Structure 1
Amino acid sequence: MRSISVKITLVLVVVSLAGALFTSFYIQDRTQKAFDTFIQDQDQQVLVEALTDHFRVYGSWENAHLVFLEVFPSIYHNNQGEGSPPSAQGMNAPFILTSPSGEIMDTSPGPGRPKPGSSIPMNEVEKMGIPLKVEDNIVGWLVPASTQGPRNNIQQNFLGTVQQGLIISSLVTLLIALSLGGFLIQSFTRPIRKLAGATEKVASGELGFQVDIESKDELGKLASSFNSMSSDLEKADLSRKQMTADIAHDLRTPLTIMQGYIEAMSEGKMAGSQEIYQVMHQQAKHLNYLIDDLKTLSLLDSEELAFQIQNIDPS
C-alpha cells in the first residue's frame, strides 16, 4: 500500500509534466505564428517599396517577378537567368500582385497560387491587400496569399533554437517544481505521520499521549483535537478506575459485615438473634441497592436508559 507521500509525489509529477508539456507546446505554437507574422510583415514592407519603385521606373508590372527575385534571392532553389520566371518550389513570402481592379499580375511561386490573368474580388483585395501608390495614385495591390511558404534555413534555425530553449527551460522548471514539491510534501505529511504514530500509541493503551502542534492550519487544529481526545480518554480511564475502586469498597463493606456475622454464628461464638438478622438484612438490602445503581450506570453508558419525563409543580 503506497503512503500518502508517494501518492502526492506521483500526482505532482504528472501535473508538473503535463503543465510543462502544455506550456512548451503552447509557447512554441504562439512563437511560430508570431514569427511567421513578423516575417510576412517584414517581407510585405520590403516588397511594397520595391514594387512601387519598379512601377515608378517602368510604368507597368511587366517582369514584376524579378522584383521578388531581387528582394528574396535566397528563396529559389536553383539560379535562374535574368528575365526568366522563377521555377522554385516556394518562397517564404507568399504574396499576390494585382492591378488596381483586382486582376492578378504576378504571384510569388508556390503551391496553390492563382495564375496571372485571373481576378480577385475587390472586396477581398481591399480587405486584405496593401495599396501600391505612385504619386498618390493606386497602381496595384499587394495581397498576402492564404498559405504560408516554407521558411529558409536561417528562420528554421532560429525557431529550432527557440524550441530547444523551451525544452530546456521546461525541464529545468519541472525539476525545480519537483524539488520544491518534495520539500512541501515532506512538510505537509510530517504532522500526519506524527498523528498516525500517536494514534497507534493511544490504541496500544498509552492514553493521554500528546503530539506537538507545529502550525495553526487545519492540521494544527486536527492535532489539537487529537490531544484533547487523548486527554479526555485518559481522564475517562482514571475515572473508570476510581469508580471501580469505589464500587469494590462499597460492595466489600456489607459483604464483610455479613461474612463476619455468619462466621461467628457458624463457629458458635455468637448466637443468632433478631437483632443480628436485622443487621444482615439491612446489609443485604444495601448491597442490592448498589447492584441496582451499577445496572443504572451501565444502562446510562450504553444509552439504553429510558427516561420518564413528566411535569411537576415547583410550588
Structure 2
Amino acid sequence: MIHRSLKAKLIASYLVVALLSVVVIAGFMRLTSNQSLLNLVMEQQATRLNEEAAFYYEQTASWAGFLEYYQTQLVRDPAFLEQIPTPSDKNPPGDYKDHEYPREIRGRNGLVGADLVTIIPFPGYDVGDSVPQSEIDGSTAVTVNGNIVAWVIPDRGFEFKLSPEEQLFLDRTNRAIFIAAAAGILGAVLMGFLLAGILLKPIRSLMEASKKLSKGELEQSVPVTSQDELGQLTQTFNQMSADLARADQQRRQMTADITHDLSTPLQVIAGYIEMLEDDDIHLTNRQVQIIMTEIEHLRRLVDDLNMLSKTDARDLNMEIHSCIPGDIAQQAYDGFEAICLRQNVALTLDIQPDLPNILVDEGRVMQVLRNLLDNALRHTPAGGFIRIGVDLWEGQVRIQVQDSGSGIHAEDLPYVFDRFYRADKARSGNAGKMGLGLAISKALVLAQGGTIYAESQGLGQGACMVILFPPEKKPSFTHLISLF
C-alpha cells in the first residue's frame, strides 16, 4: 500500500504540473490570439495605406484629392463612411485606373503630411488640423524617392469584426490549442505512470529486502541501478545488511567461543572436584596447580569482557600524563626479551632520537604493547623476528610491532580488531585465546585519542601493527610569559 500511495502521489504531482502549464499556456494563447489577429489586420491596413499614399504622391506630387480618392476607392467600411461625407468626384486624378486596390480597408488610420497637417482624419484631429510632434512618435513614415512625404498614424483603439475567413482561422487556432492541451494532459498522465514505475522500482526492491531483513534473513543485497539519492540509499542498505550479517555471525561465534572457553576449564575443575568426593583420593600439588591455571583463565576472560564493557560505557579510568614513547617501548622490550629468546625469536628495538612526548596513560599503552607482542609471538615461528619501532611519521608519534609470522589475508585486515573475530587465515587467535586482545588494544588506543591499524602483504608475509599518537603540544613563548 505504501508504494502504491507514493506512486499515486507522483502521478498526481506530474498531472498537477502539466495542468498548470497547459492552463497557463493555453489561457495566454487564447487571450492573445484574438488581439494579435486584430493587430495584424490593422498593421496590414496601415501598410496598405502607406503603399497607396506613396503611390498617389509619386503620381501627383501632391496630396490634393487624396482624401476623396481614399474614401471612394479604398474604404469599404460602412461604419467609417458614415462619419465622412461622400465626395461627388468618384475618380481620383492621375492615370492609375489599372492599379489593384484592396477590396476592404478597416480601421481609422490617419495620414499626416510632412508639414504636420492632417490629410486623413483620425481620432482627435480633422482634415487640415496641425498635429503636434508627439503624435508622430511611433508612426510609420511614407517615403518617396528617399524623402519623407507623410506619416501614417495607426488607430489601435478601433474595433471591428473579423472576416469569415479570419474568424475561421481563429476558431481553428483555438481548437488546436484545446487539442494540444488535452494531449499534454494525457501525455503527462502516461509519463507519470512510466516515470513513477521507474522511480519506484528500486524502492520496491528495498521494501522487499527490508521485509526479509525483518524476518531474520540478514544476507540481503539490492542491485544498485543509479548513482543518485536512491542509488546511495541502496548502497547504504546493502552495507547495513552486510554489517548486520557479519555482526550476527560474530555474535554466533562469540557465543560458541564463550561456551568453549568457559566449559573447558569448568570441566577440568569439575573433574578434580568429583575426585575429591572420594575420600580415598587426594589432589597432588600438580593437580592443584592445574585447577589454579584454569581459574586464572576464567578470571582473565571475565576481566577482558569487563574492560570492553567499560570502554563501551566510557567508564574506563585513565591517568593521562606526559610520557616518553621510547621509554614505554623499552619497557615492553625488556618484558618480552627473555620470552622471545626462549622461543628462538629475534626481538629488536629501534627508537628514533629526540621524539616528542605523548599525552597517554602509560600503563594502558603498556597493556596494548603487551597484547600486540603476545599476538606477534604466537604467530611467529622459531627463527623469525619481531621488531618494535618508534619514530615520528607525518607529524604523529608512530609505534610499530612488526613480525615475520603467518601474515594476514587482505580480506581479514579490516576485521582483525573486531571482538571475537576468528579466521583460520587471520591472526585473531589461537587455542585458548578468545580473540579479545586486539579488540581491547583498539579500544584502549581510541580512548586515548590515538589510532591503530594493521598492515600485511598477505599470508606468509608477516604483519605490522601500527599505533599513532599525536605529539604533546609544547606551550608557546607567549603562553609561558602569561603564566608569570
TM-score normalised over the length of structure 2: 0.53
Larger % of strand: which?
2
| Matching of residue 60 in structure 1 with residue 65 in structure 2 | yes
| Matching of residue 107 in structure 1 with residue 110 in structure 2 | no
- Inter-CA distance 265–92: structure 2 relative to 1 (3 Å threshold): farther
Distance in 2, matches of 1:72 and 1:18, equals 45
Q: Choose which of 322, 325, 343 in structure 2 pairs with 1:312.
A: 325
What aligned pairs does 1:152-167 form with structure 2 within 5 A after superposition?
152-154=162-164, 155-167=166-178
Asked whether the equivalents of residues 129 and 142 of structure 1 are also in contact (C-alpha less than 8 Å), the reply is: yes
Query: What residue is the counterpart of 2:22 in the other structure?
Result: 20
| Matching of residue 96 in structure 1 with residue 110 in structure 2 | yes
Query: What residue is the counterpart of 2:42 in the other structure?
Result: 40
- Inter-CA distance 156–272: structure 2 relative to 1 (3 Å threshold): same
- Inter-CA distance 131–241: structure 2 relative to 1 (3 Å threshold): same
Q: Choose which of 266, 274, 279 in structure 2 pairs with 1:255.
A: 266
Distance in 1, matches of 2:154 and 2:294, equals 115
Query: What residue is the counterpart of 2:198 in the other structure?
Result: 187
Q: Cα offset for 1:170?
A: 1.9
Q: Cα offset for 1:38?
A: 2.8
Q: Cα offset for 1:200?
A: 2.9
Query: What residue is the counterpart of 2:418 in the other structure?
Result: none
Secondary structure of residue in 1 paired with 2:325: coil
- Inter-CA distance 132–204: structure 2 relative to 1 (3 Å threshold): same
Q: Cα offset for 1:162?
A: 1.1
Query: What residue is the counterpart of 1:175 in the other structure?
Result: 186
Q: Cα offset for 1:61?
A: 4.5
Distance in 1, matches of 2:183 and 2:316, equals 68
Larger % of helix: which?
1
Q: Cα offset for 1:31?
A: 4.2
| Residues 251-292 of structure 1: per-residue CA shift (max 9 Å, x gap) | 112222222233332353634666555443333222111111
- Inter-CA distance 265–48: structure 2 relative to 1 (3 Å threshold): same
What aligned pairs does 1:135-150 form with structure 2 within 5 A after superposition?
140-150=150-160
Distance in 1, matches of 2:163 and 2:316, equals 91
Q: Cα offset for 1:169?
A: 0.9
What aligned pairs does 1:74-93 form with structure 2 within 5 A after superposition?
75-76=77-78, 83-84=85-86, 92-93=106-107
Aligned residues with identical type, % of pairs:
26
Q: Choose which of 2, 6, 9 in structure 2 pairs with 1:7.
A: 9
| Matching of residue 71 in structure 1 with residue 85 in structure 2 | no
Distance in 1, matches of 2:148 and 2:230, equals 75
Structure 1 residue runs without a partner (length 5+): 86-90
Distance in 2, matches of 1:276 and 1:239, equals 35
| Matching of residue 227 in structure 1 with residue 232 in structure 2 | no
Distance in 2, matches of 1:308 and 1:104, equals 107
Distance in 1, matches of 2:187 and 2:273, equals 87
> Residue type of the partner of 1:101?
D
Secondary structure of residue in 2 paired with 1:3: helix
> Residue type of the partner of 1:66?
Q
Q: Cα offset for 1:116?
A: 1.0
Query: What residue is the counterpart of 1:88 in the other structure?
Result: none
- Inter-CA distance 247–22: structure 2 relative to 1 (3 Å threshold): same
Q: Give the number of equivalent residue pairs.
A: 302
> Residue type of the partner of 2:185?
L
> Residue type of the partner of 2:110?
I
> Residue type of the partner of 1:71?
L
Q: Cα offset for 1:139?
A: 5.9
> Residue type of the partner of 1:23?
I
